[in-house]
Amino acid sequence: MADPIRGGHRPLGYGIAAIIFILDQLSKWAIMGPLALRERGLITITSFFDLRWVENYGVSMGFLVASSNKERWILVAVTAAIAAGVSVWIWREKARFDVLALGLVLGGAIGNITDRARLGYVADFLDLHIGDWHPFLVFNVADAAITIGVVLLVARALLAREPQAPAENIDAD
């Protein structure tokens, strides 16, 4: 068994990040290439799921929209710095569950950074809805991985209890 103190979980975190990155970029290649969603705009899959082309020039939920090339590269730099911080966190983290969640976040971040650097925007295309009600923004595989990773980290932080050290035995002489 790998020793977590010596970084035994690092391959898990970085491996998950690589898998998410590859899945994200493959899905975007399929959407932009063979499915030609950019040209088509919309492909209805079911009554609650569409493929819908959206070019996201902002960050999460459309905040901090980059309206110039300079702002685009500032967003790339800021998100790359955050991804670097997550990478260091994976390197230092001892809890396997947290490393898994951080791997999801890192892989998604690198996928979206790649889009922004290469295209100038993040390609979003997954649209879950109920009739005409769209409770979610259009997203991509990277966004889903980041969201799941963050939810797992927050849930563990709020719900998991660290084992308590045994109380010292005090003699009452």
| pLDDT (tens digit per residue) in 8-34 | 788 999 999 999 999 999 999 999 999
Q: How far apart are CA 47 and CA 115, in angstroms?
A: 29
Can you give the pLDDT at residue 132?
A: 86
Can you give the pLDDT at residue 152?
A: 96
Q: How far apart are CA 111 and CA 31, in angstroms?
A: 15
Can you give the pLDDT at residue 170?
A: 57
- Percent of all residues in the chain with a pLDDT value above 90, rounded to a whole number: 67
Q: Of 145, 150, 151, whose CA–CA distance to 107 is shortest?
A: 145
Q: Is the pLDDT of residue 2 over 80?
A: no
Q: How far apart are CA 93 and CA 91, in angstroms?
A: 6
Q: How far apart are CA 61 and CA 78, in angstroms?
A: 16
Residue 40 makes CB contacts below 8 A (sequence gap 6+) with 53
Can you give the pLDDT at residue 5?
A: 47
The per-residue pLDDT for range 123-172, each reduced to its tens digit, is 999 999 998 888 888 999 999 999 999 999 999 989 877 666 665 655 55
Task: Compute CA 151 distance to the chain's CA centroid, rounded to the nearest angstrom.
Answer: 10
Where are the strands (E) in the chain, listed by range?
42-44, 49-56, 122-128
Can you give the pLDDT at residue 131?
A: 85
Residue 80 makes CB contacts below 8 A (sequence gap 6+) with 113
Write out the catalytic residue numbers.
Answer: 124, 143
Task: Compute CA 132 distance to the chain's CA centroid, rounded to the nearest angstrom.
Answer: 27
Q: Are 138 and 125 in contact (CB under 8 A)?
A: yes
